[in-house]
Amino acid sequence: MSRMALLAWVLLGLLGGAILLALGQSAAAGWAWSITALPVAAHVAIGVARSLLGGKLGVDIIALAAILAAVAMSEPLTGAVVALMVAGGEALEGWAEGRATRALTALLARAPRQAARVTASGIEEIGVAAIAVGDILLVRKGETVPADGVLEDEAATLDDSALTGESLPVNLLRGGKLRSGAVNAGGAFRLRATHTADASSYAAIIRLTRDAAEARPPLARLADQWALGFVALTAIVAGGAWAWTGDAVRALAVLVVATPCPLILAAPIALVAGIGRAASRGIVIKGGGALERLARIRTVLFDKTGTLTTGQLRLVAMDVAPGMERDAALRLAGILAQGSTHPVSEALAGAARARALDLPLLDAPEEAAGGGVAGSVAGQHLLLGSQAFLARRGVADLGSLGASPAVVAVAGSVSWLAQEGRAVAVFVLADGLRPEAPRTLRALRALGVTRMVMLTGDRAAAAAPIAAALRLDAVQADCAPAQKIAVVQQESVTAPTAMVGDGINDAPALAAAGVGIAMGAQGTAAAAEAGDVVLLVDRLDRIVDAIAIAQRSRRIALQAIALGMGLSGLAMIAAAMGFLTPLAGAVLQEGIDVAAILFALTALRPGWREATPAPLPASAGLVERQAEHAALRHLAEALRDAADAMGAGPESLPDIAALEARLRAEVLPHQRAEERTLYPLAAQRLGGLDPMGPLIRMHTAIEVLVGEVGNLIAAAQGPDGWAAASGPLRRSLFELEAMLSLHLTIEEEALAEFNATAA
């Protein structure tokens, strides 16, 4: 019999008995209530028998004893109310599980079943199982992307909220990567499938979700153990009350109030509620066991590339030969780089586009795999690549160029540009730190994580700056996958340990850790399958949400158990002392059940540690201001170059004056726009007395330095002014470059919480 059918039976029986009693048919009413209770007793007996066959004493044996004893002792109404307690508890459990797993079941319900394949003869409707790699699929407005692929049209707007919890749509351009499971929030578009439906992201998420929904929480098993002890305690109290007073009714009252529904229902409901809450934040937790282990984590190990860093190289420094301008060198490098898919080439081409440099396409670039690119621009033969690549092409003399050994050691890559057989520029590239990483690690320490370690296959010199910036406790560099496993096992001896990673090489360490946390949005399927927790959003700070949800859910589960069993214990004492009749005890216990389960469901609500600022409106201008940062960083580099070039004498003054004019035209209006719209709205959402005060103070310092530079330029242009003003002017340029660069970095970290919603 289903839960709802059982509850309906009991309610109808209670109502029928009440009508008979009102008509003066008390004997018939008693029979009606007995007939109501006995099928429930049979239902419970079947469950107890199954538990016994499994080698366990069923915890519902108290409820079975209470119903049978009530009927046998001519307390049929009490038996019917206990039956209502059992049937109502099961129905409430089903409702609570439905609430708790709503986010999980929503993922399953949204799984696409049909797809529109574009063929030479038109559009063909097919089942998703028929999708093949290379198929062109049409996704109409409101439809779910059926398979991972690449956008074939100019643009697409996607709603990823069901997967990631992010409310704002995501805009993609031609060639962008599409994940299955996202919903088309704009016009129809075409994609070229890169995976079959079964091998796509959404299918993997569904497998993870099913695993999470089917896993039985260990805390529920622990609750079963407590319940067994509670059965023994109930027998002692009920038997003692009967033996002491000779009143069997008191023993029945003890049995009625001792029914352990809060114990066997509240714990799993709280944990499943936590899993559902995590799913709504774009976090898949594979069952209550993983959630419980996550709640106890005290050590976190991080992979570096793609986890603590973005996994994408960016230009961090460059040097050019005399007579070559920096923008001209970067433009030539960008033109060549367009002919290669190497990460270094992509970074150089991206840096050139960010500076709005003209990048015409080369007709026939020549690429040497892993080495470099050769080609001709405006009749000049160019080479772009590693030092070894240039040497093989006859460019052995780098002249005055070349990054220092220290810079080369920490850089992700160094690339040289040669023009007509002569090296004319060197570019230093490195993997950038995730903007949310520093705040994430500070938040983890606030949650009780006491040790954080980075494991990386990179060189120690490349890992050290990242570790210093994040204030990590230790770094293990040059780690092969086997060494990562050894470190995980060593750390796990002293404290519960989690491993965070995204790549195939991280999968063994994720599986070996107490909790493996996979960056599943951009990471590999191997990492997602090996992890106990999968982040569907490519943001490191979701780890904080995952641990906060796990800690709160486990705490609520234990509190719900304590609440329910504590109240039941007090009721048992009252019943044993004769203060509760069996009927009153049954009604009271029903209230205790409801209270414990409803308390367990509070795990669905966000805790205070999960509180995130509301998204900024478009009128705040966050996207526009962040887009201006690339140009401002370029301007900061130009300030440093101008200060370095001041040794040439007063002839450098026109260039410095041009930079000062750019500062007034670009930096100062940028700062005023931030203070007028962006900062006030951000302050409202961040809270506190004056959260943007330090950034405004830095604005003031930058404005003062710009004024000093203008005054010193004027002084240097006067008679004999260069000798007196050049020294202070050079210092002011260096100070301004450092202040501007630092301000941009601090501002990006302070507003990182809003960046994901603005992207």
- Which residues are tagged catalytic? 303
Q: Which residues, including other chains, have CB under 8 Å from residue 612's CB and lie 6 or more apart?
A: 753
Yes or no: say if 106 and 278 are a contact pair by the CB < 8 Å rule: no
Could you tell me which residues are beta bridge partners of residue 193?
149
Q: CB 692: neighbour CB atoms within 10 A? A: 21
Sheet with 189-193: list strands edge to edge.
Answer: 122-127, 114-119, 136-139, 189-193, 149-151, 177-178
Pairing of strands 497-501, 515-519: parallel
Could you tell me which residues are beta bridge partners of residue 116?
125, 138
Distance in angstroms (rounded) separating the CA atoms of residues 255 and 640: 82
> Which residue, among 619, 653, 640, 641, has the nearest Cα to 721 in the 3D structure?
653
Is 176 exposed, middle or buried (CB count within 10 Å of its CB: 0-12, 13-18, 19+)?
Answer: middle
Distance in angstroms (rounded) separating the CA atoms of residues 141 and 752: 31
User: And the tokens for 640?
Assistant: 């440093």
> Which residue, among 309, 387, 403, 385, has the nearest Cα to 344 in the 3D structure?
385
> Which residue, among 479, 481, 474, has the nearest Cα to 503 in the 3D structure?
481
If you count DSSP H runs as helices and E runs as strands, how many of each does the chain have, helices first? 29, 22
Q: What share of the chain is helix, strand, coil (3-state, %, to 5)?
A: 60, 15, 25
Sequence-distant contacts of 210-216: CB under 8 A, at least 24 apart: 210/108, 211/286, 211/287, 212/104, 212/275, 212/279, 212/284, 212/285, 212/286, 212/287, 212/290, 213/101, 213/104, 213/105, 213/275, 214/287, 215/286, 215/287, 215/288, 215/289, 215/290, 216/268, 216/287, 216/288
Distance in angstroms (rounded) separating the CA atoms of residues 310 and 292: 30
Distance in angstroms (rounded) separating the CA atoms of residues 503 and 526: 7
Residue with tokens 């892993």: 370
Residue with tokens 């019999």: 1
Distance in angstroms (rounded) separating the CA atoms of residues 596 and 605: 16
SS3 for 578-595 is CCCCHHHHHHHHHHHHHH
> Which residue, among 219, 306, 302, has the nearest Cα to 516 in the 3D structure?
302
Distance in angstroms (rounded) separating the CA atoms of residues 337 and 348: 6
Mutual orientation of helices 76-100 and 248-257 as an angle, nearest 10°? 10
Phi-psi region of 19 (alpha: psi -120 to 50; beta: other; left: phi over 0): alpha
Q: Count how many Cα atoms sit within 13 Å of the Cα of residue 654 in the half-sphere of its side chain.
A: 1
Q: What does DSSP assign to residue 154? A: S
Q: Which residues, including other chains, have CB under 8 Å from residue 79's CB and lie 6 or more apart?
A: 33, 34, 37, 41, 66, 67, 68, 70, 71
Look at residue 312 and give its three-state secondary structure. Answer: strand
User: And the tokens for 176?
Assistant: 């962008």
Mutual orientation of helices 288-295 and 261-280 as an angle, nearest 10°? 80
Yes or no: say if 639 and 736 are a contact pair by the CB < 8 Å rule: yes
